[in-house]
């Protein structure tokens, strides 16, 4: 891919919060959450930090797959809890005051608990790339970053800007990020001899300005955040740290 050949640097930052909820849109009575944030949710998170407007979904035009490259790594295990929330009926209110609302419905919400993620980011637009870099360095955001719902406020930390190398291998390689299954070899693509809790989930990858999903994808991950040893049919990205360690990751595409 042309985009893969031209990426030389990525921004890396960690984000975490007490609770997260990335609603599975096909659920009704009891809202369930995706176990990991879809790429579409990560786009909204980054847009909040740099201040791209949510009105009319304008921010989405900056995060098309051919412009924004986003990778995700689990730093904490995926944990879920159920919390009962009281939803109020505002349409039938008898006046403008909140104290006049009498109709309520209790709904069980599924939340992710104590989640922490590492995000890898690159953008073809240098202005957007630099804007995010400056805000991350300053620990500043234009809008409040949250993990799915507005009440799930998140904190973040800039890890750094790193050079990346595009690598290929015919054998198994440990990947630290979540993996698009379309990039995994069909035969013996995952080394299941390693102990782990492996999952695959179909999530929305890209939205248009009408918030219609234009691409879905299957994402493979290890629940506790351990690396996955996989054979890949496309290049992966490598970061070498000054302490001698390295990170291998894939963008969600």
Map out the domains of the chain as residue ranges: 2-249
Residue found by looking up tokens 């879905």 in the block: 216
Domain made up of 2-249: CATH architecture: 2-Layer Sandwich (3.30)
Residue found by looking up tokens 């069980």 in the block: 108
Q: How confident is the model at residue 27 (pLDDT cuts 50, 70, 90)?
A: low
Mean pLDDT value across residues 60-64: 90
pLDDT score for 2: 38
Sign of the dihedral defined by the CA atoms of residues 141, 133, 52, 217, in that order: negative
Greater model confidence, 6 or 207: 207
Question: What is the full DSSP assignment across 56-123?
Answer: GGGGGGG--TTTEEEEEEE-S---EEEEEEEEE--TT-SSSSGGG---EEEEEEEEEEEEEEEEEEEE
The C-alpha angle 166, 170, 171, rounded to 5 degrees, equals: 110
DSSP state of 32: -
Q: How confident is the model at residue 44 (pLDDT cuts 50, 70, 90)?
A: very high
pLDDT tens-digit series, residues 228-243: 999 999 999 999 998 9
**Whole-structure pTM value:** 0.91
Distance of CA 226 to the CA centre of its chain: 17
Question: What is the full DSSP assignment across 34-68?
Answer: -SS--HHHHHHHHHHHHT---GGGGGGGG--TTTE
């Amino acid at each position: 891919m042309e985009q893969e050949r031209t990426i030389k640097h990525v921004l890396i930052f960690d984000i975490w919060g007490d609770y997260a909820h990335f609603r599975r849109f096909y659920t009704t009575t009891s809202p369930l959450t995706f176990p990991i944030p879809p790429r579409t949710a990560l786009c909204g998170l980054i847009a909040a930090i740099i201040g791209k407007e949510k009105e009319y979904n304008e921010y989405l035009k900056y995060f098309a797959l051919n412009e924004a490259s986003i990778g995700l790594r689990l730093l904490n295990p995926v944990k879920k809890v159920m919390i009962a929330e009281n939803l109020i009926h505002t349409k039938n209110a008898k006046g403008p005051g909140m104290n006049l609302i009498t109709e309520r419905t209790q709904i069980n919400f599924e939340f992710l608990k104590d989640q922490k993620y590492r995000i890898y980011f690159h953008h073809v637009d240098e202005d957007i790339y630099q804007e995010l870099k400056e805000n991350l360095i300053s620990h500043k955001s234009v809008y409040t970053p949250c993990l799915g719902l507005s009440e799930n406020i998140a904190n973040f930390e800039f890890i750094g800007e790193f050079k990346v190398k595009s690598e290929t291998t015919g054998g198994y390689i440990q990947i630290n990020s979540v993996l698009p299954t379309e990039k995994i070899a069909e035969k013996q693509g995952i080394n299941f001899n390693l102990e782990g809790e492996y999952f695959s989930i179909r999530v929305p990858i890209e939205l248009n300005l009408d918030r219609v999903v234009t691409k879905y994808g299957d994402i493979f991950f290890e629940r506790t955040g351990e690396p996955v040893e996989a054979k890949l049919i496309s290049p992966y990205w490598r970061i070498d740290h000054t302490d001698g360690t390295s990170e291998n990751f894939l963008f969600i595409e």
